[in-house]
Structure 1
């Protein structure tokens, strides 16, 4: 659980560091559009530190997924929005409303309940059918991301956000479906391709959602997609369970943590600083 929470802290803090770096790069001006902006951001220590935190967060996420039920890790990762909110309040001087501070406390309470109720990871390895199903979901998410501009404007952010959530969910499940890290086993395992394609497709879908729709809607949909779906897969097909007699507490903690994260959905993309410095880059718009 400490690894899962550590991953959330890494992802949430990386968002703010990358937001600051992107704003400085944008203020510097220059040519090259988005590519030029990225190159200027990469020259700043904050952006590089954010990327390093993203990498560390992913490693911690993998470790957590190998030891905890998916539902616990998914809820912990959703709490990175709470981390982004708190760090933004300190570094970017973003004013959090009273309800948002309450949501941060609610997320913490939900995670505490999950920590008490969570058992160990399930003992089922997953079938080949599940591995191919995850690969199919990843392909579908890629299709939705590529067609983002063709989707009806109404509901576009919702659809793309859900697709991104399912893509990140494929990554979570894929980690559990990889039994061996030897080259021959990785190449022969459909879950390997599902994990890689799912992560890339989720990045594409969420980037499109943030550009073409409401940040809050897209992020809320993403949180639902990357928590509920993988949690169900973990319980039904991978044998994830809770501590004896604490199933109700796990369900309550999961619901409370996710609900708190949804209240903080506007922090899916780093918020605008009061005074109008421009928008930052989101956690998911960086390399997760």
Structure 2
């Protein structure tokens, strides 16, 4: 494989970081939703900042889809977490977020983990999957939605973590579906593949859950929980079902990198501070300057 996969991966990290930031600004200005109802997405779509953030998220999704064509799922999913670092940097520079020393140290650990995974990952195409895997992804969607109806009752940091984790499971399932789908070479097979529609369904439910999670107060906690929940199941499924590969002799480095990344995102769910309470007023001005004029 040439350098295209790595370029897609780098651009994806930046796109997801901007998506997290812009969506955070929008949800902080939207009335808090107390049920798992799609009306929240409709209200969020009234904000140009949110639509711009969704645009960045769609760009990140396309770049991740292209990266997964050859790069291992554990690498791409863990690298999505690096977007949290981009979000934090832009949040500090543009929205005057205040990151405590513990959070800064965890962001450094996150960068180390991603670097180790990049060195250990061996590019390879995905194996095809059968009907059993497709049924499993569909059942997961129903189960996540049911848990979401319960988790939406939580508030504050527990609500951010619980709903963010469920969003991550949705996005992780979408990633699992996209890895073999990215290897399809004809439009006919692509458009008729059940994996495509499972990917879309998981992405929509995940987007709703992420919006609910961000409304609970801490963007960092919500996104960190999402990234952790998305990375772990997807990594195991990628290695044992989809044929992801690690360079010989670098298994220890892959394990170290994955554990460091996981520890960083889990740590941020514990030490992250709510950003909305001291950045909303400043965010209003920034969000209008970021949003395109009508």
Which string of whole-angstrom CA distances, capped at 9 and with x for unpartnered residues, describes residues 186-213 of structure 1? 4542212210111112223333444468
Q: State which of 233, 236, 241 in structure 2 corresponds to 1:237.
A: 241
Provide the rounded CA distance (Å) in 1 between the counterparts of 2:44 and 2:157.
30
Q: Indicate if the aligned counterparts of 2:21 and 2:91 stay in contact, CA closer than 8 A.
A: yes
SS of the aligned residue for 2:281 comes to: coil
TM-score scaled by length of structure 1: 0.78
Going from structure 1 to structure 2, the CA distance change for 1:169 and 1:23 (only over 3 Å counts) comes to closer
Provide the rounded CA distance (Å) in 2 between the counterparts of 1:202 and 1:221.
13
Q: Indicate if the aligned counterparts of 1:167 and 1:198 stay in contact, CA closer than 8 A.
A: yes
Aligned length: 271
Q: CA RMSD, aligned part only? A: 3.6
Going from structure 1 to structure 2, the CA distance change for 1:146 and 1:188 (only over 3 Å counts) comes to farther
TM-score scaled by length of structure 2: 0.77
Structure 1: which 5+ residue stretches go unaligned? 27-32, 281-288
Does 2:69 match 1:66? yes
Q: Indicate if the aligned counterparts of 1:19 and 1:270 stay in contact, CA closer than 8 A.
A: no
TM-superposed deviation, 1:37: 6.5
Provide the rounded CA distance (Å) in 1 between the counterparts of 2:261 and 2:158.
25
Going from structure 1 to structure 2, the CA distance change for 1:34 and 1:133 (only over 3 Å counts) comes to closer
Q: State which of 98, 102, 121 in structure 2 corresponds to 1:99.
A: 102
Moved more, 234-243 or 162-171: 162-171
Q: Indicate if the aligned counterparts of 2:27 and 2:214 stay in contact, CA closer than 8 A.
A: no
SS of the aligned residue for 2:128 comes to: coil
Q: Indicate if the aligned counterparts of 1:119 and 1:241 stay in contact, CA closer than 8 A.
A: yes
Going from structure 1 to structure 2, the CA distance change for 1:201 and 1:152 (only over 3 Å counts) comes to same
TM-superposed deviation, 1:134: 1.3
Q: Give runs of aligned pairs for residues 235-274 of structure 1, distance below 5 A.
A: 235-265=239-269, 271-272=275-276, 274=278
TM-superposed deviation, 1:119: 0.4
Aligned position for 2:55: 52
